[in-house]
Amino acid sequence: MLVHLSITNIVLIERLLLDVSDGLTVMTGETGAGKSILLDALGLVLGSRANFGLIRTGTDKAHVTASFDLPDSHPVRTALDEAGIDASEMIVLRRQLRSDGKSSAHINDQPVSLTLLRQCGDMLVEIQGQFEGRGLLDTDSHLGLIDRAAGHHDDIHALRAAWSELKQSRDARIQATEDLSRAREEEDWLRDAVQQLDQLGAEADEERRLEEERGMHAHAARIADALQQADGLLSGETGAGLQTARALSLLERQLDVAAGTLSATVEALARAAAELEEAEAQLRDAGRSLNGNPERLSEIEERLHSLRAQARKHQVTVTDLPELHQSLQNRLAAMDDQSGFLASLAEAETAAYNHYCRYATKVSDARAKTAAALDAAVMSELPPLKLEAALFKTDLTRLDEPKWGALGWDKCRFEASTNPGMSTGPIDRIASGGELARFLLALKVALSGNEIPKTLIFDEVDSGVGGAVAAAVGARLSRLGEDMQTLVITHSPQVAGKGHAHLRIAKKQSESGVVSYTETLMRDARVEEIARMISGDVVTSEARAAAINLLGFSS
């Protein structure tokens, strides 16, 4: 609920600090005292469009801060968590207007967009009839109100899942159809490309192997000369192999008299001799295998040219040709089998469509029953509110199929008529200011048990009524206050007498000019204020007695 409200430099309000209690709080005061200014300021901090004309004359900044104490499960906390804003404690909304035309918004001291501020504001406070397109005047919210009243949360969740499944299956079928259409357009090219790659028969790592072989054939003479020279250094009378063997033989003859000092040397020479012998054998094998064949070199060059030409054609590397070949073969095979694949996708889409329709029908039927019950509940509230000739109706219509969505196929709008024989229409276009406020009050009373916790504010709900009707308005506001925090700006003593708390808004002269201020009224002050509302400027003893009676105080 709203706990604190701070307003600085908004029109007549120089500085206002307001602590708001639970239940029903009534706000009274003479016309022009600043009640509407307070609502304008509150609208700013809830995300309404900046009106720089609200900045108090002679100042360059205006501030509004609203603090809320909310249960852990409140959806505002979820929205703030998703936005990366700490929402573990009190939720504090701030708005600043500057005379240079700049505006800023913060939630828990983190800068936020006006969109997020308004999104959170709409979940925290509802000012009935004050701001166009917000609260119950926002037709986009009507379907959600019916769903909360119906209480079919599991069915709504299942409907959302069914819509997601239908959308995915439909997208898959459309994508496959488009892919097939494109494939048909390039079928001749595709078959020709596969045929050429079939003939080419590119192998993995083939380019590297061919380049290595080409290098060997291209330098066969130089390699052969190196092999010959190396063989000469290892073999022959002066070769390393023969010299090592002689050194080994010489030392072996001294082993028996060397007392072990030559053992390691002899072993090393023996290993060296064996390795040299192996090296000589490999040199001879390399020489025999060396083949500088010009014809083979020509074949290699031609093969590399063919591979690289295909790679350039398909804009891939030679290494990627085998994978490309397989991919094109798969596309061609899929094209040949596409009719069966499309049929399976269409079958899956049909199943998803039927599944979605089952839940959409179930949800729609529940909405219709809830709407009928809501209409009856609202209609029962209208006569005591001096709207006995009025008609309220929840208009549920089925959307055209292209407009179906995650919430089904229903469109919901609250409609009303105020005179017999008049066609119903959008509630905000049919009813006058006072009538609209009472319609919204009746609707709120009927819906109050199903709404998320928020602060309700009513302005002009008692406009043009008095006596028993005003008492009925007060009684309903009091009932609302039992379920959620409710504030009402009123000129009716009958309504003011129902408040659990009473605030008076007034004006006074200060050094900076006329300012508006708010004071909390206790027992005696409440009696005097309500007596003033009854009798006017001159408060009579009869008015005080009537005020005491309205407040339920003992005289």
In this predicted structure, what is the pLDDT of residue 179?
Answer: 80
Q: Which residues lie below 8 Å from residue 327, measured CB to CB, with a gap of 6+?
A: none
Instruction: Give Dmax over CA atoms of the chain in angstroms.
Output: 146
Contact of 484 with 455, CB cutoff 8 Å:
yes
Q: Which of 118, 7, 74, 25 is nearest to 478 (CA)?
A: 25
Contact of 121 with 110, CB cutoff 8 Å:
no
In this predicted structure, what is the pLDDT of residue 433?
Answer: 67
Contact of 527 with 547, CB cutoff 8 Å:
yes
Contact of 424 with 457, CB cutoff 8 Å:
no
Contact of 475 with 488, CB cutoff 8 Å:
no
The tokens describing 511, both together, are: 């050094």
- Radius of gyration of the CA atoms of the chain, in A: 45
In this predicted structure, what is the pLDDT of residue 232?
Answer: 62
At 543, the amino acid letter reads A
Rounded Cα distance between 60 and 529, Å, is: 35
Using the structure block, give the residue that is written with the tokens 């028969």.
201
Q: Could you report the average pLDDT of every consecutive run of 10 residues in the chain (555 residues)?
A: 92 88 90 80 91 90 94 90 89 94 93 93 80 67 90 95 97 88 79 90 87 68 59 65 70 70 74 73 64 69 87 90 89 73 91 97 96 94 88 94 96 89 80 76 82 82 79 89 89 91 86 81 92 87 90 77
SS3 363: helix
At 150, the amino acid letter reads A
The tokens describing 242, both together, are: 């023969």
Contact of 418 with 390, CB cutoff 8 Å:
yes
Task: Give the DSSP per-residue string, 424-470.
Answer: PEEHHHHS-HHHHHHHHHHHHHHHGGGSPS-EEEEESTTTT--HHHH
Contact of 441 with 476, CB cutoff 8 Å:
yes
Edge-to-edge strands, sheet with 486-489: 125-128, 455-459, 486-489, 24-28, 501-510, 513-520
What number of CA atoms fall less than 13 Å from residue 200's CA on the CB side?
27
CB atoms closer than 10 angstroms to residue 130: 21
Quote the Cα angle for 253-254-258, to 5°: 155
Quote the Cα angle for 252-255-258, to 5°: 140
In this predicted structure, what is the pLDDT of residue 539?
Answer: 87
Q: Which of 446, 170, 163 is nearest to 155 (CA)?
A: 163
Interior/surface letters 244-258, b for 16+ CB within 10 angstroms, e for the rest: bbeebeebeeeeeee
What are the distances in angstroms from CA 428 to CA 46, 65, 132, 433, 438?
21, 30, 9, 9, 12
Q: What is the DSSP letter of 399?
A: P
Using the structure block, give the residue that is written with the tokens 């504001």.
121
In this predicted structure, what is the pLDDT of residue 290?
Answer: 59
SS3 413: strand
Quote the Cα angle for 544-497-541, to 5°: 5
Rounded Cα distance between 67 and 81, Å, is: 17
The pTM assigned to this predicted structure is 0.65
